[in-house]
Amino acid sequence: MNQDMNLDVQESADSQFLLFLVGSDLYAIEALKTSEIVEYSQITKVPMVASCLKGVTNIRGNIVPTLDLLDRFDLGKTKIDKKTSIVVINHTHNGKSMQMGVIIDEVYEVDDIEESSSREAPEFGSKIDKRFIKKMGKYNGEYIAVLDVEEILDIDELSKIE
């Protein structure tokens, strides 16, 4: 995705999900938790934070902390290329609203995942820690992980020095 993309999602569309690739795997997050998707841009390192926090970037005049999702999953570091994007996620910490950026390999699409086809995350057999998976959703006949944004963006955990 070479151009910035604003997500225009209606409040009633609670089954809309942003699907994207990290590594070679397809994941989903609730579209309503995202504010926009932007092309990867320069990130300024910040000392004394978890290694998966790459630093901060300037998005439309806002300083946005940015996290490498592949690194957060302990699966390596994202290789930056022309399809690499930053998904800006609306997040609440201690009652305070903030935005955080998540580096992904490639945007796939925004689509529905039926709630009736969703299942609980398995206890084992996933590449990523179960705590990062909110549920498994059926998409095009296969189950994909719907990520738990609150757990992934846990500020208290991310603030610990590794």
Domain boundaries, the chain: 5-158
Nearest alpha-carbon partner for 18 in 3, 30, 9: 30
Query: DSSP class of residue 153?
Result: T
Q: What is the pTM of this model?
A: 0.84
pLDDT, one tens digit per residue, over 100-148 is: 999 999 999 999 887 777 777 766 667 888 999 999 998 888 889 999 9
* Phi, psi of 155, rounded to the nearest 5 degrees: -60, -40
What is the DSSP track for 12-79? T-TTEEEEEEETTEEEEEEGGGEEEEEE----B--SSS-TTEEEEEEETTEEEEEEEHHHHTTS--PP
pLDDT, one tens digit per residue, over 88-100 is: 999 888 888 899 9
pLDDT band for 29, please (50, 70, 90 cuts).
very high
pLDDT for the residue numbered 133: 93
Return the percentage of the chain with pLDDT > 70, whole number.
87
Instruction: Please state, rounded to an integer, the average pLDDT across all residues of the chain.
Output: 86
Return the percentage of the chain with pLDDT > 90, whole number.
59
Nearest alpha-carbon partner for 32 in 7, 53, 65, 50: 7
Q: Which CATH class is domain 5-158?
A: mainly beta
Instruction: Give strand pairing partners of 64.
Output: 57
